[in-house]
Each structure stands twice: as C-alpha cells, then as structure tokens.
Structure 1
Amino acid sequence: MAFIDGADRKVLRWVSLGCIAACAAQGAFATTPGFDVGSANVAVADPVVPRPPGKACVVELFTGFTFTDFSNHPYTYAPPTGCGRSWSKVVLEADFSVTAGRQFDRTASLWLGGANLYFGTTQEPSSSVAPSWHVERDVTDFASLFGNPQTGQAVLGNVVNDTYTGVISGSARLVFYPANVLAPRGDAPDAVFPLSDGTAGGPVTLNTGTDALTRTFTLPTNIERAYLDVFAQGQGGDEFWYSCVPDEVTATAQSCGGGAYREVQVAIDGQPAGVAPVYPWIFTGGIDPYMWRPTTGVQTLNFVPYRVDITPFASLLNDGKPHALSINVTGANGYFAVTGNLFVYLDRGRKVLSGALTANTLKGQSPTASVDNTLTDVSGTVGGAVATHASRSFRTSGYVDTSHGRVATDVAQTVAFRNTQTFTIDATQYRQAIDQVSTVDSTTKTRQGPLGWTVTTEAHYDFPLVATFKYAFDAGGNIVSAPSAVTQGFSRQFSKRVGSLLVYRSNVDNGIDTADTLAFTGGAVTGHSGQHSRQVYRFKDNLGSCYSREIGTDSGVLAAVADANGCAGQRNRLLWFTHPDGSSDTSRTEDPGIF
C-alpha cells in the first residue's frame, strides 16, 4: 500500500467506508428539466450537468448578445467574489434563441483566454416557431484559467437580410460551487494551453488532410499527466463527409468526393502521439430539416470533445524546450473546423521531472483505409456498394520520476472505422444508404513505484450512423418526394480498477431514430409528411447514479416523455461528480482525487 498514490488511497478508503450510501443521503442529484407535450420548441433527452451541494456563485459572461453578422462578440471575465478560489465544480450555462423566419443552422463557440469552453450549432427556426434552447458543460478542468481576469469572445457567425431573417440571441454565465465537506475540491488540471486561432480563441479551418492546426508551447518542466481535448467539426464540403465516395466514383455515385474516411491525428514535434475518431454530427438543417424539429441529432447543440491521453510523452514535454502540438484530419476535403485544449497536471513536490518515452508503435502506422467498390452502371442504372474500412492497434508508453516515485503509463488502443454505402440509381429514383461506425477500445495502465498497484482504466466508444435518403422522380425527371431516415448514436463504457478492485464503472448511451418525407413541386419543397423521432438517453454507474429519458416527436411537436425507466424507484439520480454526457473525467471518477 505504500506505493499507492494519494488519490487511490482515498478511493479505497471511500469505498471501504461505504460512501455510496452517504453520497446518496446527501441528495446531491441533478434535476432534469421538464418539457411540454405538444410544444414545437426544442426538446432533447440529454441530462443537465449534475450539481454539488452548497450555495453557488454566478459570473455573467454576457447577456443579450445578438448575432446578425460574422463579427465576433468580446466579453470580459473576473473571478467570482464570495466563492474563494477552491471549487468543487464549475458549470458553463448558455441560453440561445432565434426569431421565427428563415435561417440556416449556425456554428457557435465560446472562448476564454483563448481556450474553448463550448462548441456546438444552433437550431433552425420556422415561419411560425422561434426556438430557444439551453446548454451546459462541466468546465471544472479550466479552474486554473478562472482564477484570474480574462477576456473572451462568443463566435457565432450569422447572416440577416431580406431572405434570411432569423436573428440569433444568446447569454452565458459561469456557475461556481465552492468546495465543502460534502463536495471537496476536485483534482483539476494545473494549467490549460489552448490550440486555437490566436489569443482570443476561435476554431481553425483545415481544408485538406495535410493541413494542420499547430501551436508551439514552452511547457512547465514538472508535468505528470497530459491530455488533449479535441473538437473536429465537418463543414462546407465536409458537412456530410460520411456520404462521400472516392473521387474516381463520384460521377457514377453522383455523390461528393474525397472518400468517407475521417480521423483526427495528434502529433508532438511531428511524432504521432494519438488518434481521435470524428463524430458524425448532423446539424438541424442536415438532410431534411424537419427530422430535427423539435429534437435535434445527437450532440448537435452541444458537442462533446474527445480526450487523447498523451501522458506517455510527458518526459519529452518536460525538457524546457518549445514543443509543437498539432492536429490534422485525415481525409479533410474542404473543410473541418478544429480546436483543442491541452490540460496538464504538475508535480507540486519537484520542479523538474526526468523520464523517457519507452514505446510508440503508432509511429510509422499511416492512417490509411481500404476501399471495396462494387458499383456498376448498366445503361444508366447504377447499383452496388462502396465499402471503406480502416483499423489500427498501437501502444504508447513512458515514465516520469516524480517526488513520489516513478510513475509509468501505458496506453493501448485499437481504433476502427467502417463505412458502407449502397446505391440504387435509375430514371425513377436516387437512393443512398449509409451504414457507418467508428469504435475505440482503450486500456491505460498506470503504475507507481516498484511495488505499487497498477491502476487500469478501460474505455470503449461506439459512434454508429445509419442513414437512408431517396429522391423519387416523375416521368419528366422532376423530384416529387424525398423520404429520409437516420439512426445515430453515441456510446461509452468506462471502468477503473486499482489492482483487481473495481473502483468505478459507467455506461452512457445516447441514440435517436428519426424520419420524414419531403414533397416537391417544380423542384421546390412544398411540404412534408410522416415526421417522427425517438431519442433515448441512458446513463448508469456502479455508485448509484441512474438516468433515463425517452422522448418522442410526431409532426414537429413533442409527443411523449418517459423518465427513469430501469432506475430504482423510477427516479433519475445523478451523483454530482459524474459526467453523464460521456465526456472524459480524468480528474474525478477516472482518477477521483475528490474521494
């Protein structure tokens, strides 16, 4: 036991004292907002961020901003008064709305000190519905940033004119929960380094697979752990990247080129250091806008970043020299908007750490995909499929000698991608069916000292997407109808063990099924029919948290809501330190320094 670090000693003590029951008795659970059945306003099944007990302090970032052009909207921040500098949790809250009329979906992002606090898109309005929506993010990992005055900005480009009339408005605030006996200070990172577009922040455009977002930092020399949170959003020609085919068959398939394989590559000084899958977010104007009213696609309004563990490279970053961190998107074809936040944890007992990178089998493994093409064109009738698949397994390992002994980290991952597109094209129809899934299997083992216990974390991700869209033509070749259907999901299973003892396990599943049929006259949309959708969101852990919400829509309004199916007492309960959105939580439940 002498070689178990402080966080893991707390875990074992916490479990042995039966704090599961104690935490339940605290009543520190999230309250899920209700919705009005029959309403056409935005309704999603996602849970809000769970809150710790105690009185909070609120700092307004901005109120009543209106977005009518592509100018950025700056704001200033000052630390909260009356809440100290020791917080158990910090939550970003934002509220947006758009006036009734015509407007595209727009990308929204919030920044502070150049770091990205929020990334998402907006809901489209209709001529009779002015939608409003609320988003939240646990931003406790940015605590080192919140301790000092900062400047920030809201980036939400919009066009308002005689055609596009929807005016988007927004407000945002930070909510601070001071640490207390029931909710101790979290083990937040000691510093954050933004990978963004300048000191004010902003996403960076990558048009090709060789374009890269690169930022050079001279980092502290006592880094123990390091993580890079990545956002990669397809826009322009890459908005529907999952529907694209290799360039040589674009004419036959009548689809976008560049292929369907997309994956984020992370490098340090040009050396491959990690991989992130690209989530197939669908915006509210995507494919058929009526499918996403009032329930949007998975994470459409509030993207979840993917966390890349680069701790094995800590020894390289600790040499006091400048290091270039870069992000690029394999297959980018005009374009991806990307950003990242580098979080580091420091050794408070030693100013300089030595160590070594002992393995990196990702080096030399190029991100390439195989393509099987069975498309045929016989006298104008096209049929067959284009199947794209890629898979890599790799391992990165390293150690640092800290004030509390040698800490060795081994990260082993298998990332896989599969996309199969089936086409039926003739004089009466154009039909494209997409079946895609990205998966990650990750195991991280951390060992401290020659006799220390091994801490093992395992995570499995699934990003499935099944989509079918069809255009039916009359005898004159005019479009008369376009039925579409989408099934989309996000799944994450996580576990942590200290030796053979299970410390934490959680499961997140978020999925939506939606469909609609557009009607056309003279090439213009004249109506739609059959709109319906069903979103199911479930979260459960081994400490008593349980959340379930299922919502159904019909003809553009909320038709049904069902809560807590499968939860004890038919009650949704989320312990305050959990991350039910599926984001990584290395500072708490994955390395729970709060216990």
Structure 2
Amino acid sequence: MHLNLTHLPSLILPLILLSISTPLHLSAASSTPTSFTLRQVPATNVSLEFLDPTLPPALPKETAPKCSVLVLQRDFADTVGSPPATANYTQPPDCPAPWTRVVLELSLSVSNVQRDRVAAVWVNGAEVLRTTTPLSTSPAGAFWKVHKDVTRYTTLLRHYGGSGTVTMRLENSNIASFSGVFSANVSLHFYRGAVPVARPAAIGTAHPTVKGLYREPADLIIPITCEKDAEGGGFWLLVNNDSHVPAAPVTIPRNTYRAVIEIFSSYHADDEFWYTNPLRSSFQGGLGASRANGGFRQLYATIDGQFVGGHIPFAVIYPGSINPYFWSPVTAIGAFDIPSYDLDITPFLGLLLDGQPHEIGLGVKDSQPYWLLSGNLHLWVDAWSDAVEAGLVEYTSPPLKINRHAEWRNQDGQSEVDAEGLIRFSGWVSSSKGNITTTVRQKVKFKSQVEVQNRGAVKHVEMMNKERTTVGLAKGNQAMGRVQLFIEAPLQVQTSSVNAVGGAVFQRTRLYHQLQEVLNLNENMAVSTSSLTDRQDAEGSVLMHDGAPLWGSGSLRSSYKYRDENTCYLRTVNAAGGVVKFDVASPQCSGVAVA
C-alpha cells in the first residue's frame, strides 16, 4: 500500500466543528474561505520561544559534555514527498566510547507562519525521537529545543566502527498562507566520567515504559520498520485499520538472552483525535461517521502473527489541537518528545533463536486511517556463548474485555467504552548467566466517556487509563529482580461551540490532563521507589474557520513533580496570552509558591 505523504498531518483540525441548523451569514466577499488564514491571528514582530516544562534538564547545568558534535543541519521548506535529510556520522575521536551519557539536542526554528508538523530522527535506521513542531502564527517565527537522553541507543553510535548516518524527516509544505521554513540542527553531546543525575535511569522519561531492569544499553538494536523509500515513505510503517498489522523480517543472534521491543507511534487524519471519539448509533452531526468508533486504542506487537504484548498509548495533544492558544508558548505533555513504549519479549526468545527470519508486526487495535509506527528491537547477547537455549513456559493472553454502549438521539447522546484485561507471559533462557526465567504481567483498566448536549453544541470527554506492568527475573526459586510500574493517565475536555458569521465556529474549552507514574524497583535485595506527576490545566476560547484559528486566547497551568529516596524535583509554569507568567523550579519540592 502506498503512503501519500501529502496527507501527513497539518495537525490543526479542530476538536469539534458542530453545526446549528440556521447559521449566520456574511456577505459573499467576507465569507470566502480563502480570506481566513493563520495570518489573521494577532501576531507580534518578535520570534517566540516555545518550551516543554515537563522534564528536568537532561543533565545539571554545571556538568559540561566531554564533546559535542553537530551531526545534521537542514532547512525544510517544500519537503512533502522528498527523501529524508541524511548526514554521515563519525564518532568523535577525542571522546570515544564508553560514555556515561549521550544527549541528543534538536534545535529548531521556523521563519514565518506555518502549521504544526510531525518529525523524527533516526540513527542508522533506528528511530530515536518522534516530535511535533509548534503552531507558528507570527511572521517573526518561533524557535525551540528538544533534549533527549539517548544513552540507551549508544550501540547505534558505536556501530560500523563508530560511523553511520543520522536522518531526519519533517514533511513541510510552503504555500502563500503558510510560508514558514523549518531550520533544524541535530547535535549529540557525549559525557564521560561521573555524571550527577537529577533522576535515575529506572524511571524512564515521563511516559509509560519499563526500563528498570535494563541499566546497561542493549548490545544490538534492530529497526522494525520499512526499507528506505519503500511503502510508508521511508522508515515509518503505515497502519490504516484494526486488521492492518505491517511486519518486518528480523533475524536475531542465537546467543541473545534478553529482548525488548520499543514502539514509536503518532496518529493522524481520522484518528488524530481518537481520544475524543464517540460511539454512536443514529448520531449524524458534524463529528463525522469516520470518527465514531470510540476512544480506545492499543498499540501491540506480534511475532509471526502471535500477540506478544501491548500498551494503551498516552494521549499526546498536538500543538494545533483543541485550542492552539493553550500550547503557546508551553507545549502539551509529550508533544516535543512523543512517548515510545517498551514490551519485554524475553519470554518468547524460544521462538526466535533458530537463526531464521521471523516477522515482527506492529498494530493498533480499533484504529482508523492512519497511524505511523516504527519499532526498535533491543537485544542483549551472551559474549560467552555461541548459542543459548530458551523456551516459553506460560502464555496467558485472553482478549481484552471491551464493553461499548451508546445512546444517541439526533445530535445529542452519550457513549462509553470500558476495557480491562490481564496478560501473563513467562519463559526461560539458559545462558552463561544461568537458567533465568522472565515473567511479564500486565493489568489494564480503561474507560472513555463522551457526552454531547444542546443539539451538539456542548461536548464533554473523560478518559482514564490505568496500567500495572511487572517484569520479574528468577533463577530457580530465587528472585533476582523485579520492576513494577503503575500508570494513571486521566483526561477531561469540555467544549462548547457556537456558530459564527462566515462559517466560523466559536469554541470555549476547559481541559485537564495528567500523567502519574509510580515505579518500584527490587534488585539485588535493594528496594527503591520513585514517582512522577505531570499535570496541565487549561481554559480559553478560539474562533476557528476551516480548521484554522482566526482569533483566540488561552491560559495554562503546568506542574511537574518527580520524587525518589534522594531527589525531589518540582517545576511550576503558568502561561496566558502567549506569555509565561510564572516559572519556578526547585530541587527540594518545598517552598515553591504557585502563582
């Protein structure tokens, strides 16, 4: 199937565009759709800096890298359908591996008015960052930076004798109304020696993932994706529906003793607002039939067609979504570093260690066109063995129990989707480290509610995702380690809409979004606990026409708190009218007033 990259996301479709039976009209000249563009949004002559307050610095400011390398520099103007930008990479000779830490820095600017886009960075064909760009509404443009700890990918940077390629894709289109050009610099910062950290590696990076038992980076990373210039436009797998599970052939070393699949994802077109989708029977309003399959999705992986695990994705809100003025200049949770999701498939190594190619598939349950997926297969190999033995002991994976209920009458009604499930996989691997059994257990409880009132003019969305994932290692009857990650991700959106002149729609919205993680790590008889709470509250108004904002206002309150036995980090940011009003960070989590 061919991916038409001209349909990659503008990402500024409105959350809802509800109609009232007798809309108001202007004169023919003023109601012409082409008269409404982003340039009508009040703009300043100052380039705006966007920021993501949800993560603490990748490293303390006083810690300088051993060396820094600019690996790619490119302007993205009319790049729809063009090959990704690629540059050769060479390991810096003055600070060879091993490194204590490697941090990727993506520095971006846009020269003029432009829509928000999805972009990604690959190292030797393996994706290491999925990101979005802000919605730029000023002729003066905007700029921002994304920092990501990429230490877990260091095997890619050491591969091929310390050389290889760094690739970036950013699909952009220049037209008269959106003439902005994106300029990107990709740099790598290498650290050696002792490095103080604000948070341990076990917690991950503010999104649902389990890395607690994998302190050492993998020995080998194999991309799970399409070939360059193949279906999907290069590197991305295109998923069109629930039954579409694209796969890639993978052959792994026979001495592999641990394996984890990492999944990157983003959602577009009919599924761009999956987290607000209703179920409906007779509802025929402006929400559209193509977006009426409910607010439940599950990312999952298969080996030769067999389900091996999944995650309900965190609902990342794109910069042009719901009310674009909420995300100026503070971005939504995860928008600059879209989460990836880890699946420990060590229990299934017995299916893969025969030296033959096997199909690793990636899919999205209940999906609509379209999702862009890619995966990385992280492998740890036994240097003391040419081959190891492995076997699957337990495979308990009943289908998720999903209940759907909808009651609609004309444009009004309500619908619910409830899902819950419990899976358990267990398998042994016999290597030079001994005969070790890995057990993966995951419990999921999900609920989505959508209610529409007042002839479709008021919409209320509530969603709650709860996951508990446990990965345990045992040698015989002796436990060697266990990590438990508890996730809660509530979302509430309430929008009221009124038709305005010229086909425009005036919307007023209140939003609450939060990610909570609690991680318990038991390793070598040592127990540690860490917790994260990342919350945003927003409210405001926007006048939309054909998916573009004409005028608006918004305020956002964002708070990020991380705590473990030795550290407590707190940052609070308040913004309104496109200006940061309050921004305070504290390493003690006390004595910080909230404005």
Normalising by structure 1, we get a TM-score of 0.82
Contact 1:40 1:558 in 2 (8 A): no
Counterpart in 2 of 1:45? 53
What is the percentage of aligned positions where both structures have the same residue? Answer: 24
Residue 191 of structure 1 is matched in structure 2 by: 220
1:321 Cα shift? 1.9
Q: What is aligned with 1:463?
A: 489
CA gap 1:569/1:294 in 2 versus in 1, 3 angstroms: closer
The correspondence for 2:471, drawn from 424, 444, 448, is 444
Counterpart position of 1:165: 179
Q: Deviations over 1:341-375 (max 9, x none)?
A: 1101112221211121001111xx23462111133
Flag the 1:430–1:180 CA change in 2: closer, same or farther, 3 A.
closer
The 5 A counterparts of 1:7-406 are: 40-46=48-54, 47-50=56-59, 55-70=65-80, 71=82, 72-101=84-113, 103-147=114-158, 148=160, 149-179=163-193, 187-199=216-228, 202-246=235-279, 248-251=281-284, 254-255=287-288, 256-362=291-397, 365-367=398-400, 369-377=402-410, 382-406=411-435
User: Once the 2 structures are TM-superposed, how far is the Cα of residue 485 of structure 1 from its aligned partner?
Assistant: 2.0
Q: 1:262-295 deviations in whole A, cap 9, x for unaligned?
A: 1112111111111111221111111221121111
What is the CA distance between 1:159 and its match in structure 2?
A: 0.5
Q: Which residue of 1 aligns with 2:589?
A: 567
Question: Counterpart of 1:17?
Answer: none
CA–CA distance in 2 between the matches of 1:181 and 1:305?
25
For the residue of structure 2 that corresponds to 1:82, the secondary structure is coil
Q: 1:297 to 1:249 in 2, by over 3 A?
A: farther
Specify the SS of the correspondent of 2:270.
helix
Change (3 A) 1:254 1:60: closer
- Closer/same/farther in 2, CA of residues 121 and 353 from structure 1, 3 Å limit: same
Give the Cα separation in 2 of the matches to 1:539 and 1:87.
25
Note if contact 2:348-2:392 (Cα within 8 Å) is conserved in structure 1. yes
Q: Corresponding residue for 1:528?
A: 552
Residue 519 (structure 2) pairs with residue 494 (structure 1): yes
Q: Take 1:254 and 1:568, find their aligned partners in 2: how far apart are those partners?
A: 45
Please give the alpha-carbon distance, in whole angstroms, between the structure 2 residues aligned to 1:92 and 1:436. Answer: 33
> Which SS does the other structure have where 1:87 is aligned?
coil
Instruction: Specify the alignment match of 1:553 in structure 2.
Output: 575
Secondary structure at 1:208's aligned position in 2?
Answer: coil
Q: Deviations over 1:479-521 (max 9, x none)?
A: 662101222222221111137x443321122121112112479
Shift of 1:477: 11
Offset of residue 97 of structure 1: 1.0
Counterpart residue type for residue 507 of structure 1: S
Q: Distance in 2 between matches of 1:80 and 1:329?
A: 39
Q: Which amino acid aligns with 2:50?
A: V
What is the CA deviation profile of residues 294-349 of structure 1, one whole-angstrom value per residue up to 9, with x for unaligned ones?
A: 11111111112111111111222222221111110011111111111110111222
Give me the TM-score of the superposition, normalised by structure 2.
0.82
CA contact (8 A) 1:213 1:326 kept: yes
Check whether the contact 2:281–2:408 (CA below 8 A) recurs between aligned residues: no
* Matching residue within 485, 498, 508 for 2:532: 508
Q: What is the aligned residue count? A: 520
Query: Is 1:540 paired with 2:563?
Result: yes
Unaligned segments of structure 1, at least 5 residues: 1-37, 572-595
CA contact (8 A) 2:226 2:248 kept: no
Instruction: Give the whole-Å Cα distance in 2 for the aligned partners of 1:251 and 1:182.
Output: 57
Q: In structure 1, the residue corresponding to 2:153 is in which secondary structure?
A: helix
* C-alpha spacing 1:348/1:239, structure 2 compared with 1 (3 Å): same
2-side partners of 1:109 and 1:292: how far apart? Answer: 20
1:558-578 Cα distance to aligned partner (Å, 9 max, x none): 11112217537879xxxxxxx
- Residue 22 of structure 2 is matched in structure 1 by none
Give, as a single letter, the amino acid of the residue that structure 1 aligns with 2:370: Y
Q: Once the 2 structures are TM-superposed, how far is the Cα of residue 423 of structure 1 from its aligned partner?
A: 0.6
CA distance in 2 between partners of 1:263 and 1:306 (Å): 11
Aligned CA distance change for structure 1 residues 273 and 522 (closer, same or farther; 3 Å): closer
| Contact 1:40-1:557 within 8 A present in 2 as well | no
User: Contact 2:52/2:336 (CA < 8 Å) preserved in 1?
Assistant: no
- 1:435 has 2:462 as partner: yes
Is the alpha carbon distance of 1:367 and 1:234 closer, same or farther for their aligned partners in structure 2, counting shifts above 3 Å? farther
| Alignment-mate amino acid for residue 431 of structure 1 | V
Unpaired runs of 5+ residues, structure 2, are 1-45, 202-213
Aligned 8 A contact 1:192 1:342 in 2: yes
Deviations 1:187-219 (CA, angstroms, capped at 9, x unpaired)? 211000111231585222111111123111110
Classify 1:186/1:414 alpha carbon distance in 2 versus 1 (closer, same or farther; 3 Å). closer
Range that drifts further, 194-203 or 237-246 = 194-203
**Alpha-carbon contact 1:253-1:423 (below 8 Å) kept:** no
Between stretches 518-527 and 270-279, larger displacement belongs to 518-527
Once structures 1 and 2 are overlaid, which stretch shifts more, 176-185 or 288-297? 176-185
Q: Distance in 2 between matches of 1:112 and 1:488?
A: 32
Instruction: Quote the Cα distance in structure 2 between the aligned partners of 1:160 and 1:331.
Output: 34
C-alpha contact 2:584 2:592 (8 A) present in aligned 1: no
What is the RMSD computed on CA atoms of the aligned residues? 2.8
